[in-house]
A and B are shown apart, each in its own frame.
Chain A
Amino acid sequence: MAKSIDPQEQALRELLPDYLNGHAPADVASRIAARLEHDPDWAADADWLGDIRTALEAEAASMDPAAGLAELHRRLERPGFWRRCYQRLALPALAPVAITALASLCMGQAWLLWQQAAPADQLRWRSVPGAVAQPASLRVQFLPTASMAQVAAALEQAQASIVAGPLPDHSYLLDAADPPAALQSLRASGVAGEASRVDARTAP
């Protein structure tokens, strides 16, 4: 090993492992085959490599895969993390805890729903803050038999418009450009049951 080696010879020798494994290109293979045939040092080198292969192959062949295979099967049968969690939760001892938790959740949800429904009972109509109410000059109670079209035509003819209503007594407050004329017109229209003037100070 102490003698100097020709770089080309060295490069060829480094391909010996590939040659022995059948991976060397054809031109390289023929050159190596010639060396192995005529050079005892090359042949010895190939023998050492052959010894390594033989030793490892024999070692592998002596191994019985049965124990490892049994261990592998044990691992495959062992449930995964989430399955183990589920199984733990599904234990009978934990059933009361799970039921109590679910019942608490249902009760909490019911209480929240009841809280949301309660304020609806206290709803009240209120005037829009800051808005000025239109003045009413007439109070009219339309006949129940009058249609919407007849009411609209009577209001148009009387030049009046609804300001508020229906009030608790089923009457409407109207604003008219000429209240006396409008009152007369409405009474004559045949759709108003009761109609009267409203004093602006007593209007609701």
Chain B
Amino acid sequence: MSALPVNPAELLAAMASGDQRALDALYRAWSPRVRVFARLQLSGSGLDVHAVADEVTVDVFHAIWRAPMRYDGRVAFGTWLLTLARNKAIDQIRRHGKRLAREVPLDSDSEEQAQAEHDPGPQAARESLQRRHAVLKCLLRLRNPMQRESLTLWAIDDLSVADIAHIQQAPEGTVKTRLFHGRINLRQCIQRWFAQEGGRHG
């Protein structure tokens, strides 16, 4: 067995010639980022975030397998891939979201409450783990989904403001503002979260 290339463009070329191992390599390398991004995209939609994010991830790579040469190299592969994931997630929200929005309140904290019940607690966890947990919770709680998406795209694949603007189809100035206010809101949320957790466990 020959070694597979790691360059996405080379993997896509191999996929175009029917090499399924290239698809596997691409999936292993990129699907975790797509799944995290999809989960954050779907939060607040009222959908089963984990299940639908997994479905979106598989959808994305299935679509790439069917037409790998749709990627023309005009933007970075990560930008293109996350745009595809974003569109699939939006499709899922449109397909199921309206129906579910009537059944489940958008700001439902049920998932977070369920997680809190299984949390080992700050005392048992290391500080970095606790901080990571807080960041994720607060990202999910951000009321402005565009701020959440901007921060996620920035962090998940080191995208530039220009890349994020391309994905969101928005001016760069708007993206800068979203990133700025997003991290202010996130910081306030994390400070509140630590204050609550400190009060609960302290």
Using a CB–CB cutoff of 8 Å, the interface residues on chain A facing chain B are 1, 13-15, 17-18, 21-23, 45, 48-49, 51-61, 63, 65, 67-69, 71-72, 75-76
The 17 listed contacts between A and B (C-beta, < 8 Å) are A17-B161, A49-B154, A52-B183, A52-B186, A55-B133, A56-B36, A56-B152, A63-B35, A68-B27, A69-B24, A69-B27, A69-B28, A72-B23, A72-B58, A72-B61, A76-B20, A76-B65
B61 adjacent to A60 (CB under 8 Å): no
Cβ of B54 and Cβ of A52 under 8 Å apart? no
Pick from B24, B131, B156, B177: contact of A51, CB under 8 Å? B131
Residues from chain A with a CB closer than 8 A to the CB of B177 are 14
B13-71: which have CB < 8 Å to A?
20, 23-24, 27-28, 31-33, 35-36, 54, 57-58, 61-62, 65
User: In the complex, A75→B134 CA distance in Å?
Assistant: 36
Chain A residues with CB under 8 Å of B61's CB are: 68, 72
A56-B28 contact given A48-B187, A68-B54, CB 8 Å threshold: no
Are B54 and A21 in contact (CB-based, < 8 A)? no
- B121 CB to closest chain A CB (Å) equals 18
**Cβ proximity bits B109-140 to A, threshold 8 Å, 1 near / 0 not:** 00000000000000000001001110110010
Chain B at the A interface: mostly helix, strand, loop or mixed?
helix
Total number of B residues with any Cβ neighbor in A under 8 Å:
42
Nearest 8 CB-CB pairings of A with B: A23-B160, A55-B135, A14-B176, A60-B32, A53-B155, A63-B32, A55-B132, A21-B158
Question: Chain B nearest CB: distance from A191 CB in Å?
Answer: 84
Contact assessment for B31 and A68 in the assembled complex, using a CB-CB cutoff below 8 Å: yes
Q: Is B89 close to A, CB under 8 A?
A: no
**A54, B183: Cβ atoms under 8 Å?**
no
Residues of chain A within 8 A (CB-CB) of B160 are: 18, 21, 23
Name the distance in Å between B127's Cβ and chain A's nearest Cβ.
Answer: 12
Q: Which of B35, B57, B132, B183 contacts A48 (CB 8 A)?
A: B183
Contact between A60 and B33 (Cβ–Cβ < 8 Å)?
Answer: yes
> Given A21-B158, A60-B156, A52 and B135 touching (CB < 8 A)?
yes
Interface assignment of B170: CB less than 8 Å from any CB of chain A = no
Q: Hey, what's the 0/1 contact readout for B159-180 against A, CB within 8 Å counting as 1?
A: 1111000000000000011011
Nearest-Cβ distance from residue A190 to partner chain B, whole angstroms:
88
Q: Are B36 and A59 closer than 8 Å at their CB atoms?
A: yes
Q: Which residues of B contact A23 (CB under 8 A)?
A: 160-162
Which one of B20, B54, B65, B187 contacts A67 once the chains associate, using CB atoms below 8 Å? B54
Residues of B near A15 (CB, < 8 A) are 161, 176
Complex Cα gap A14–B190 (Å): 21
- Give the complex CA separation of A18 and B179 in angstroms: 10
Sample of 15 more A-B contacts, CB < 8 Å, known A67-B54, A68-B31, A68-B58: A14-B179, A15-B176, A17-B179, A21-B154, A21-B158, A21-B160, A22-B158, A23-B161, A49-B155, A52-B139, A52-B154, A53-B155, A56-B136, A68-B54, A69-B27
Asked if A68 and B62 sit within 8 Å, CB to CB, the answer is no
